[in-house]
Structure 1
Amino acid sequence: MKSFLPLIREEWRLLLFGFTMTFGSSLGQTYFIGLFSGEIRDEIGLSHGEFGGIYSAATLASALLLLKTGSLIDRLDLRQYAYAVAVGLALGCLLMAGTNGVALLFVAILTLRHLGQGLMSMAGSTTMVRYLDRYRGKASAISGIGYSLSEAILPSLVIALMAILGWRLSWIFWGCALLIAVPLITRFMLHEHTERHDKYLASIGTGQGASDGVASRQWTRAEVLRDSAFYLFLPALLAQPLLFTGFMFHQVHLVEAKAWDLTAWASLYIVYALTSTGCKLIAGVVVDRWGAVRMVPLVCLPLGFGLLAIAMTDQFTAAIVFMCLMGISVGFYSTVSSPFYADMYGTLHLGSIKSVTTFTMVFATAVTPVAMGWMIDAGVSINAMALGGLGYTLAASGLAGVAAFRYIGRTHPPFEGKL
């Protein structure tokens, strides 16, 4: 991975900012909030279903709100945007700490999901592809390690802190830590951002901001929504968040149906995290060499074959294969998705465009657990659902392949690029 070193030496400040945004967004991610679910349900007196309903409703409301707020990163100074999101996310932590009923719980989850999973996550990915257009893949990979690192270390820290402080004071701690760390890092890492942004706008105006294989036209959101290729690519880009969320939300049922040991299953998350991190770095090199558009038809296939492994056997080896293949898909997806939209549609209105795609993704992740829950209640086997997931990935990959073939034909021959 020596090809990463020139980028790190040259742009370590901006990379650290992107990493901070993706890491900090963890406070609004499902896995982080879910660690407090038992204490919250016991305190307020909610069943699993009631808490899940409140969470899904808040997540859907967050997605709808993102259609309006997603374009803020296109219009605000990046430093002001980061400060505002950090303050808002910290406020969400304080709201969660003070939750005493359903209404306040809904508002707290809405704030955490919208500002964490939505706006802060968007800041990291958008900044990388907007200002580092020559290294979009590698920059996205480095920034995306923030997700993997947070998933690896925060659960243990959260559980330990809850044992010491309790769940309410823990939320206050995390909110204060975020409020101190993010503005400080933003101030020092983006102290020369005005000059960088002016150069970016100048390059867009002269058409010099597009490297080989990258769209020079700056599409608006309305134009993207009228583009037929967008709808051919979208199912493949939704496959990983849709299927990952659905099967992970019901992972206890999966483990029970397969008669696996839950502790052994949980230990595989280390394998998943390592695989995902390695594939992010590989994907960064691949994207910068051959472009993100070519990779989209392939990103969901490993997950599909992982689901096939689950459907074929009850042996625990299927769990190992599934976790490894899921890590491959997640690693490539997280690195490919933002450069893809930049390559296809430009970066000037990227926040506005990604607000639509993020809305679609969040909607899918909110609906899939409920839909799979209904199927489980109706007696549909986990094997049948896994085969259905495989069928979805194959169909989505085929549609994206058609769109990618058309795109390549309009730009340049395949496999012509540079490291």
Structure 2
Amino acid sequence: MSFFPFLRENARWLAGGFLLTFFASYGQNFYVALSSGGIREDLALSHGEFGGLYMFATLASAATIPFAGRLADRMPIERYAALVILGLGACMLLLANAWSAAIVFIAIAGLRMFGQGLMNQTAMTAMGRWFSLNRGKAMSTAALGHQFAESVMPISFVAFAAFAGWRGAWMINAVFFILIVLPAVFLLTRKPREQSAAEAGYRDEGRQWASGEMLRDPLFWLLLPGLIAPSLIGTTVFFHQVYLTELRGWSLAQFAGSTPVLSVFAVAATFATGFVTDRFHSTVMLPVMLAAMAVATLALGTISSTVAILVFMAGMGVAFGVYSVVLGAIWPELYGTRHLGAVKSLVTAIMVFASAIGPGLSGWLIDAGVSLPVMIQTMAGYAAVAAVLVLFAEPVARKRAAVRKSIPVQVAVP
């Protein structure tokens, strides 16, 4: 089925997934980090102290996600999504009224768990279950929420904070989120999607892996360094965006205002990855993602002019666009749909854990006198090494995905 008829026939379910990924940004690092300067000032914290608080709060959230995420296998999507939205909204209100490090810790842990973790997991679990033959199109459409959020949410936060302060900005967003977004998502997802005649004949062949079995699969460990790269690298850079702009002599408005560049490239990469996923399989796009990330971080770490911002945003846009589709599509491709909620919750916890390491470790290194640009250059090397591992893993992933789809193995060169 071509894209526009598919979009028209499945608009309500795709819109529900889009809203979940869009408003997951309230718990994403690029959004939370915009408050880092205000939080550090109000609580008199150093870069290392706040980075450590952020890291341990994120680790705490990662520890809870596998347990909370399993409920997605037992509850209707609309009820599960409503609980996640209420939890995220409550944590937003808590952060807006936090005046101690302990309360900030709890609020950030909740934002990371419900926002970065469970909002995204809910959206992609729903797309993975509701769609089979057009899973790539569904994932890429829902994932557009990430791209649009990265474009408009930082700018909107800066605008709200300009007249209401960072606390007021969180308060305004929390009220809107609970009163408007919650009922919208519930109404869009409460009616189960019925499969088409073609999908009814679809057979999900192959082994149905439980989450524990996935952890014993060598293929998983070959892919993991590449899959955690966007969380590890992207989180670290955006977390320290205020400090980085100070080092380079750029304004924060220049950096945050360049996110539309990121979004344009991310949207293009999202649609391309959706097409490739339906035509071949999702793993074939991972080397593209890692190469784009290596170029982006190398430019940001070595170029001191504002050109580096544009190169970084473009490269990370490609990486985030590929990542947003692959991270949803790869698990049902390789491990089946029977235990998808448990598999996704475990994977989400690992991704959140990776996003915790970067800000904490880099904050301590900054306090110890290590250059942030040098750290960013090191990230480029990590992405390159991860790309090599993925190239070794791709043939195995291709064969497994072909068996799962009950189609002949097709060879694709990234």
- Note the C-alpha offset of 1:367: 1.2
Bigger shift: residues 292-301 or 45-54: 45-54
The counterpart of 1:368, out of the listed 358, 370, 376, is 358
- Note the C-alpha offset of 1:13: 0.5
- Note the C-alpha offset of 1:191: 3.7
Question: What are the equivalent positions in structure 2 for 1:264-303 lying under 5 Å apart?
Answer: 264-303=254-293
Summarize the Cα distance change of 1:131–1:151 in structure 2 as closer, same or farther, 3 Å threshold.
same
Q: Deviations for 1:129-158, whole angstroms, at most 9, x for unmatched residues?
A: 221122222211111111222222223333
Indicate the SS of the match to 2:2.
helix
Inter-partner Cα distance in structure 2 for 1:299 and 1:322: 13
- Note the C-alpha offset of 1:378: 5.1
1:57 correspondence with 2:56 = yes
Summarize the Cα distance change of 1:5–1:222 in structure 2 as closer, same or farther, 3 Å threshold.
same
- Note the C-alpha offset of 1:41: 3.9
Report the counterpart of residue 217 of structure 1 in structure 2: 207
Supply the AA of the counterpart residue of 2:270: K
The counterpart of 1:389, out of the listed 359, 374, 379, is 379
Question: What are the equivalent positions in structure 2 for 1:235-254 lying under 5 Å apart?
Answer: 235-252=225-242, 254=244
TM-score by length of 2: 0.87
- Note the C-alpha offset of 1:63: 0.4
Report the counterpart of residue 409 of structure 2 in structure 1: 413
Unaligned ranges ≥5, structure 2 = 403-407
Summarize the Cα distance change of 1:325–1:358 in structure 2 as closer, same or farther, 3 Å threshold.
same
Inter-partner Cα distance in structure 1 for 2:372 and 2:190: 52
Equivalenced residue count is 407
Report the counterpart of residue 145 of structure 1 in structure 2: 144
Inter-partner Cα distance in structure 1 for 2:349 and 2:42: 31
Question: What are the equivalent positions in structure 2 for 1:286-365 lying under 5 Å apart?
Answer: 286-310=276-300, 313-314=303-304, 316-365=306-355
- Note the C-alpha offset of 1:76: 1.0
Report the counterpart of residue 107 of structure 2 in structure 1: 108
Summarize the Cα distance change of 1:188–1:260 in structure 2 as closer, same or farther, 3 Å threshold.
closer
* Contact kept in structure 2, 1:246 and 1:365, CA below 8 Å: yes
Bigger shift: residues 280-289 or 399-408: 399-408
Supply the AA of the counterpart residue of 1:289: R
Bigger shift: residues 218-227 or 268-277: 268-277
- Note the C-alpha offset of 1:60: 0.8
Inter-partner Cα distance in structure 2 for 1:313 and 1:94: 39
Summarize the Cα distance change of 1:112–1:134 in structure 2 as closer, same or farther, 3 Å threshold.
same
Summarize the Cα distance change of 1:377–1:19 in structure 2 as closer, same or farther, 3 Å threshold.
same
Root mean square deviation, CA, Å:
3.0
Supply the AA of the counterpart residue of 2:186: R
Inter-partner Cα distance in structure 1 for 2:366 and 2:99: 32
1:36 correspondence with 2:26 = no
Inter-partner Cα distance in structure 2 for 1:358 and 1:253: 28
Inter-partner Cα distance in structure 2 for 1:298 and 1:291: 14
Indicate the SS of the match to 2:208.
coil
Indicate the SS of the match to 1:236.
helix
Summarize the Cα distance change of 1:179–1:379 in structure 2 as closer, same or farther, 3 Å threshold.
closer
- Note the C-alpha offset of 1:44: 4.1
Summarize the Cα distance change of 1:50–1:381 in structure 2 as closer, same or farther, 3 Å threshold.
closer
* Contact kept in structure 1, 2:52 and 2:359, CA below 8 Å: no
Supply the AA of the counterpart residue of 2:185: T
Question: What are the equivalent positions in structure 2 for 1:112-151 lying under 5 Å apart?
Answer: 112-151=111-150
Inter-partner Cα distance in structure 1 for 2:45 and 2:88: 24
1:69 correspondence with 2:68 = yes
Inter-partner Cα distance in structure 1 for 2:18 and 2:138: 10
Inter-partner Cα distance in structure 1 for 2:363 and 2:38: 23
Unaligned ranges ≥5, structure 1 = none
Supply the AA of the counterpart residue of 1:160: A
